[in-house]
Structure 1
Amino acid sequence: MRKRISEERRIAQGRGSGYGSGYLPWLNIRDGSSSQGWTGTITGRKVGRDHTYLSKLEYYAIYLLQDDDEIIDIREQYPLLDKKETIEIAREKGITHPRNKDGRPVVMTTDFLVTFGSASNCHIALPVKQKKALEDEHVLEWLEIDRIYHQRRNHGWKLLTEDELDIPRAKNLSIFDEYWDYDKTKLTDLSIREIEYAAYELLKDSPEVPLRSICSDCDRHLALDDGATLATVQHLLARKQWKIDMRQPFEPEGILRGIARSSAAVGGTNA
């Protein structure tokens, strides 16, 4: 049976402190649990460290937050370390503070604290909950403590449910992320540019042909290994070199809609 780590030890380990690549979440996958089994880590493309998720909605949220070019930092499982203050807020509002199995108040956490790049570096707290969870009065009370705590620090605050998250987009981003780094293909930047040009022209000339068929044609035309063009397409989408209608699920057997090249030059994507 896994031994629970004390709050004092978490603080000593530096959990909940730091910024960017140096931040340590208050909770990690060893501490969290999910009835759906949705716990794990996602490679951080924006801040240079892995992000921890403890639910399906947190998983989707991380991909969406990483994709937002205005966000410069993402801190998940962010602790409200001033426990005296959260207890005081609960008492003032006449609500119950979260407690452990022994009945002692615990350090509360916000699912995400994100920083938007600007002159003042605006911080916004983002609790992520399923709509069904909001039927629980205690959850609503704890969200109110969370909101007031951040309000006192001039942080923005917004509750996210499955209605606010663009889940089809998040699913597409999770697919493309596997192809972010392209070293494993052993293709040169020149090869990628050649594939990009050929695939784009084929897609433009045959807009109603399934993506996989076009990619297979491109593989044969350029004498590539099977799947090289499809992998390249997903790499270009991951790096935003290509753009598509992200409201539609990405399916290789389907039609690629709304494809366009970005203004950025193609090439040098192995970095």
Structure 2
Amino acid sequence: MGRYDQNAKVYTKWLKGGRGQGRLENYKPWLQVYNVPSSGRSSRPWSAKIGRVVHCMSDLELSTFLLLEWSEAVVDIREQFPLDLTTTLQIAKTLGFRHPAVRGENIVMTTDFLVSMSSSTHPLLALQVKPSGELDKLRVREKLAIEEQYWKDLNVPFQIVTEHSHDQIKVENIKWFASCFSKLTSLEVLEQLADWWSPIMEQKGSMRLIQLCTDIDVQLNQEPGTSLGQIRLLCSKKVAQFDLSIPFFDILAGDIGFRKISGTKG
């Protein structure tokens, strides 16, 4: 079998391995980055929210994941979620569309993200991520119609996400400190850092953050990037906060605010 083959034998193996099953850190995506020929850059970012790596098949999926990871309304993320094959076959027949297949064999369709929300009225949200240019293709629209009907029958809201759905400045800001998501830092250390930085930010409020951090590294004879790394860490834990509609390289020291934290882990 080629590394991208999908057939009954492969599916039996995946099911035995727990793919498409579980929640939070125990969930295993149906498709993983090495199972799909990606037209973009695939990635496996860490999610502090769910405690595992997440399989993103493109930059657009990565951007979508980062916004979901950052949202406090999101409590669980299940990417590459499998749809019941018998059900999608019936929907395709009803709609008069050809079911997705590879080498003549019908394949399991997937939704890019099945998101569990804190909302009691809409606890689930299904997201399919597509570049806007793909939506002009008839075959793409047919597949989306099958997927949309699948979730409609389950009373789950379904949305198509394109590059126009995102605030790109916000995405880039989250990317700036996303590498710190996986860092386990005690709240005691975070509080100490926040207490040290807070009066400095207030005193140097009109100074650009990047310049301020560079100057402090020189004054304290630290490795270049040390101070900025501390700010990125504090931002990733939401201890330090700023308006994410402002590019991080433009923010002033006074744009940074600090919040009180509690608990035992960061």
Q: Which residue does 2:228 correspond to in 1?
A: 230
Q: Which residue does 2:109 correspond to in 1?
A: 108
Alignment of structure 1 residues 38-77 onto 2, 5 Å: 38-77=41-80
State the 1:225 CA deviation.
4.3
Q: Which residue does 1:93 correspond to in 2?
A: 95
Letter in 2 for 1:210: R
Identity %: 30
Matched residue SS, 2:44: strand
1:44-64 deviation per Cα after TM superposition (whole angstroms, max 9, x unaligned)? 111111100001110101100
2:156 and 2:169 map into 1 onto residues whose CA distance is 29
Q: Which residue does 1:172 correspond to in 2?
A: 173
1:138-162 deviation per Cα after TM superposition (whole angstroms, max 9, x unaligned)? 1111111111111111211111111
Please report the TM-score for the alignment, with normalisation by the length of structure 1. 0.86
- The verdict on how the C-alpha distance between 1:141 and 1:24 changes in structure 2, with shifts beyond 3 A counting, is same
Contact 1:181 1:235 (C-alpha < 8 Å) held by counterparts: no
Matched residue SS, 2:197: helix
Contact 1:242 1:259 (C-alpha < 8 Å) held by counterparts: no
2:208 and 2:256 map into 1 onto residues whose CA distance is 17
Q: Which residue does 1:162 correspond to in 2?
A: 163
Letter in 1 for 2:216: C
1:156 and 1:217 map into 2 onto residues whose CA distance is 50
2:60 and 2:54 map into 1 onto residues whose CA distance is 14
Unaligned runs of 5+ in 1: none
1:204-260 deviation per Cα after TM superposition (whole angstroms, max 9, x unaligned)? 1xx2x3322211333355564443221111112112222223123322xx4438724
1:121 and 1:27 map into 2 onto residues whose CA distance is 26
Contact 1:113 1:123 (C-alpha < 8 Å) held by counterparts: yes
Contact 1:20 1:73 (C-alpha < 8 Å) held by counterparts: yes
1:182 and 1:48 map into 2 onto residues whose CA distance is 12
Equivalenced residues, count: 260
Please report the TM-score for the alignment, with normalisation by the length of structure 2. 0.87
- The verdict on how the C-alpha distance between 1:180 and 1:124 changes in structure 2, with shifts beyond 3 A counting, is closer
Letter in 1 for 2:14: R
- The verdict on how the C-alpha distance between 1:163 and 1:258 changes in structure 2, with shifts beyond 3 A counting, is farther
Letter in 2 for 1:175: W
1:172-195 deviation per Cα after TM superposition (whole angstroms, max 9, x unaligned)? 1111022345679xx955651343
2:130 and 2:86 map into 1 onto residues whose CA distance is 25
Unaligned runs of 5+ in 2: none
2:210 and 2:98 map into 1 onto residues whose CA distance is 55
2:191 and 2:145 map into 1 onto residues whose CA distance is 54
Q: Which residue does 2:210 correspond to in 1?
A: 212
Contact 1:16 1:78 (C-alpha < 8 Å) held by counterparts: yes
RMSD between superposed Cα atoms in Å: 2.6
2:52 and 2:221 map into 1 onto residues whose CA distance is 37
Higher share of residues assigned helix: 2
Q: Which residue does 1:78 correspond to in 2?
A: 81
Contact 2:116 2:125 (C-alpha < 8 Å) held by counterparts: yes
1:144 and 1:33 map into 2 onto residues whose CA distance is 23
Letter in 1 for 2:123: C
Q: Which residue does 1:264 correspond to in 2?
A: 260
- The verdict on how the C-alpha distance between 1:195 and 1:238 changes in structure 2, with shifts beyond 3 A counting, is same
Contact 1:46 1:72 (C-alpha < 8 Å) held by counterparts: yes
Pair 1:243 & 2:224 matched: no
1:70 and 1:242 map into 2 onto residues whose CA distance is 19
1:258 and 1:134 map into 2 onto residues whose CA distance is 43
Matched residue SS, 2:34: coil
1:66-122 deviation per Cα after TM superposition (whole angstroms, max 9, x unaligned)? 011011000000000x2111111111111111011x211110000000010244671
